[in-house]
Structures are given as structure tokens and as C-alpha cells.
């Protein structure tokens, strides 16, 4: 009878505290943000307005609620203490007004035209940036590409038997791509592209190479 009681107590406890996969590590060394499976197209923020009631006289705080890469919700607040005129709306906007290199220049017919700028090169590979895009011009085959964190960076391996030591090029502000680092391995060379924050990216193959588009 006692053995039966112990069996009935131990089994539920085991089910309650047991891990689904005991071979999966509890803590990983690098926490890579998970991304959602949503394919919803979100229009970029240009300008939004807030109209306050006629009784308002002082603005005390502004709170921004945002969605992270992993789908979680966060908030940021800024404390203020300024007088306001309720007749005038408040604006929230985002643009590249202080970063000319990140702007999209338009032609006379208002069609967006890309203005890529060269940031690094070796005899067999060249790198160009424009806003959120990195264009790699090369005839070498891209073997693999993936994203790493701490710091956030894109890693690319290209097929080529070569030996050029280590190549490093810092990219000046305000570009989102901060540094290009390259090194050789057996049968291929590795390109590490350091970013200025957390991003997803899309890869597009072109006749002259590849384009990485940050999202």
C-alpha cells in the first residue's frame, strides 16, 4: 500500500517538472532574437499628429509603444515639462533628414533612384551601400550566409582559393553597416559585416553579385 502511494506521488511530480527535451541547453551563449512568421507589409512612419483638448496647457510626458523583432511589446518614455498651445497639433515623425547619405534621391519623374556608395574593396570583391542595402559585387559564389549577435553581424562565405591575410574596413557614419572584416580559410574566404543594431535581412542575387536588404 505504501509503495503504491509513493508511486502515485512520484509520477505526477516527474511529469510536472520534467523538461520536454533534456538534451536542449537551458541557457544559450548567444540569445538570437526570434522573428515572427507574419508577412504583413507595414508602411514606414512619415508623420502622425495628436490634437490635445482645449484645456491642455503643459506637456508632461510622451510614451512610445513599439513591437520588437521577436513580437514582444516594449515602451519608451520621455519626461517633459513644457508649455504648449492646444491650437497646434503635436507631431511624431521619422526621416533621414540629418543623414543625407541615407536619403533616396528622386529623378524628375519622381521615380526612386538608388545612389550606392563604395565603402570597401579587394581585387575580387567590392562593397557598396545605400540606405538599408548593401551591394556586394563579385563573381565568387556565395556558399552560406547567416546572422550572429553580440555584436549583431552578417556572416558570408565565398568560394575562392586565396590568401590575403586579414582585411578590415571601418564604415563612417551614418551608414547602418559599421565594419567590413574579411579573412581566408581553406577553399573560401569569410566576410563579416557588422551592423549598428538588430535587423532581419533579405538576400537578393543579381547579375553582378548580391544585395543584402536590412529590415
Phi/psi for 61 (5° steps) reads -160, 145
Total domains present in the chain: 2
What are the beta bridge partners of residue 205? Answer: 210
In the structure, what pLDDT confidence band is assigned to residue 86 with cuts at 50, 70 and 90? confident
Judge if 81 and 106 occupy the same domain: no
Using the structure block, give the residue that is written with the C-alpha cell 536588404.
213
Assess if residue 40 is contained within a domain: no
pLDDT at 71: 86
The answer to the question of residue 16 being in a domain is no
- Whether residues 54 and 110 fall in one domain: no
pTM score of the predicted model: 0.61
> What CATH number corresponds to the domain at position 161?
2.60.40.3500
What is the C-alpha separation between 142 and 156, in angstroms, rounded? 7
Q: Is the peptide bond before 174 cis (omega within 30 degrees of 0)?
A: yes
Q: Give a yes or no: residue 110 inside a domain.
A: yes
Please, which pLDDT band fits residue 133 given cuts at 50, 70 and 90?
very high
41 falls within a domain:
no
pLDDT tens column, 20-56: 333 233 333 344 444 444 556 788 888 888 998 888 8
Task: Choose one of 30, 63, 93: the last residue of a domain.
Answer: 93
15-28 pLDDT, tens digit per residue, is 444 433 332 333 33
36 in a domain, yes or no?
A: no
Strand-pair partners of 130:
133
Report how far residue 122's alpha carbon sits from residue 196's, in angstroms, rounded to the nearest whole number: 23
Decide if 160 is inside a domain.
yes
Average model confidence (pLDDT) for the chain?
79
Report the chain's terminal Cα–Cα distance, integer Å: 64
Please give the backbone phi and psi of residue 182, each rounded to the nearest 5 degrees, phi first. Answer: -135, 145
| Domain, as residue range, for 136 | 102-214
Which of these, 98, 137, 130, lies nearest to 114 by C-alpha position?
130
Mark whether 125 and 208 lie in a shared domain: yes
Residue 180: inside a domain: yes
Helices and strands, counts by H and E, the chain: 1, 16
Amino acid at each position: 500500500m505504501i509503495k503504491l502511494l509513493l508511486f502515485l506521488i512520484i509520477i505526477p511530480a516527474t511529469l510536472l517538472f520534467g523538461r520536454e527535451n533534456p538534451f536542449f541547453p537551458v541557457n544559450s551563449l548567444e540569445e538570437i532574437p526570434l522573428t515572427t512568421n507574419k508577412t504583413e507589409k507595414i508602411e514606414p512612419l512619415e508623420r502622425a499628429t495628436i490634437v490635445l483638448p482645449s484645456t491642455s496647457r503643459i506637456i508632461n510626458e510622451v510614451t512610445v509603444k513599439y513591437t520588437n523583432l521577436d513580437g514582444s511589446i516594449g515602451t519608451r518614455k520621455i519626461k517633459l515639462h513644457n508649455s504648449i498651445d492646444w491650437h497646434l497639433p503635436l507631431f511624431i515623425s521619422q526621416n533621414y533628414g540629418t543623414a543625407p547619405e541615407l536619403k533616396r534621391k528622386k529623378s524628375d519623374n519622381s521615380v526612386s533612384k538608388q545612389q550606392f556608395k563604395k565603402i570597401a574593396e579587394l581585387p575580387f570583391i567590392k562593397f557598396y551601400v545605400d540606405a538599408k542595402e548593401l551591394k556586394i559585387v563579385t563573381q565568387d559564389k556565395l556558399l552560406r550566409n547567416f546572422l550572429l549577435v553580440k555584436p549583431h553581424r552578417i556572416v558570408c562565405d565565398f568560394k575562392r582559393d586565396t590568401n590575403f591575410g586579414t582585411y578590415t574596413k571601418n564604415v563612417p557614419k551614418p551608414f547602418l553597416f559599421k565594419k567590413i572584416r574579411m579573412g581566408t580559410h581553406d577553399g573560401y574566404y569569410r566576410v563579416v559585416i557588422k551592423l549598428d543594431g538588430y535587423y532581419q535581412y533579405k538576400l537578393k542575387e543579381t547579375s553582378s553579385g548580391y544585395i543584402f536588404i536590412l529590415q
